[in-house]
Amino acid sequence: MNQAKTLNELWSEGAAFLEDWGLEDARWECRLLLSKLLGLDGVNFLLGLHRPVSDPPTDRLHELLERRKQGEPLQYLIGTVNFMGFEFEVTPDVFIPRPETEILVESLIGRVRLKARDDVSTAIHVLDIGSGCGNIGLSVARLVPQVTVTMMDVSRGAIEVAKRNAVRLGVSQRTHFVEQDVRRGVPLNEGPFDYVVSNPPYIRRNEIPRLMPEVRREPRMALDGGDDGLDFYRVIIERTLPSLNTGGCLAGEIGWGQARAVVKLLALTKGFYRIEVIKDYNGIERVVIAHKI
């Protein structure tokens, strides 16, 4: 009779399988997959290492390891991502939030909190363009109780995921959802806004075939920024300027080497009085914040 394997044995076997395939963080990834399957947090995973694991989770682990080997992103297999300390559901319908996007949220939160402190009774309106799973706008809403946020995305699948995440974070009462293409404008009936934030698609179209295969599993519409990667900045700047309150801010994440071009686009509108560029922890210009005159 086959004896059930212990969690530790399964962990080692799974990690070896992923290591053979050439994955750097094989042990860590296998641990996350097992924790998810068995519903264990970090402490209970370690406490349970010598307990036997029954057949169904073992079979399911083999299936997940195989899918991982085929190049499916770990986050889609686990179904969640940690962002700003909150857990967001992710599915193949959404772009996987990246750690560097926390710089955008932190930069914005600092400004939003100052406004909230100066005027405690006022509601603060935020528009998140290309909201994906909701990681940016919902984090801001969760961290600043005065914020009401409008989440806008052209993808119905993404809007559905973001709706579930709003419930998960307990901010659905202060969140609106608009399924719309930003090229058709921003929802004026929802505005005016104090802050418009976006992490738009910004990869140059001809670079997409050279991206890591895993990244190419993410929705193409979340990546493709047109020929020079700047298509969405042009649209967002033009479309949001009329819907921003005086003194309001437009905050966006930018790709490597795009700061100068985006600052120029903002300056050309003559609608902003101060344009800041913020670097990430690797010293790469990552965020642009423009203050409306």
Ligand X SMILES: C[S@@+](CC[C@H](N)C(=O)[O-])C[C@H]1O[C@@H](n2cnc3c(N)ncnc32)[C@H](O)[C@@H]1O
Q: Which residues are catalytic?
A: 95, 199-200
Which backbone phi and psi does 190 adopt, to 5 degrees? Answer: -85, -20
Minimum distance from residue 48 beta carbon to ligand X (Å): 33
DSSP state for residue 106 in the 8-state scheme:
H
151 within 8 A of 116, measured Cβ to Cβ: no
What is the biggest distance separating any 2 CA atoms in the chain, rounded to whole angstroms?
A: 77
Nearest CB to ligand X, comparing residues 57 and 226: 226
Nearest CB to ligand X, comparing residues 84 and 265: 84
Nearest CB to ligand X, comparing residues 136 and 254: 136
Query: Could you give the CA distance from residue 27 to residue 15 in angstroms, rounded to a whole number?
Result: 5
> Measured between alpha carbons, how far is residue 5 from residues 30, 48, 60, 88, 278 in Å?
15, 12, 14, 32, 50
Nearest CB to ligand X, comparing residues 11 and 202: 202
Minimum distance from residue 1 beta carbon to ligand X (Å): 48
CA angle 270, 273, 275 (to 5 degrees): 100
Minimum distance from residue 253 beta carbon to ligand X (Å): 7
251 within 8 A of 199, measured Cβ to Cβ: no
Minimum distance from residue 98 beta carbon to ligand X (Å): 7
Site residues (vs ligand X, CB under 6 A): 95, 97, 101, 130-132, 135-136, 153-155, 158, 181-183, 199-201, 219, 221-222
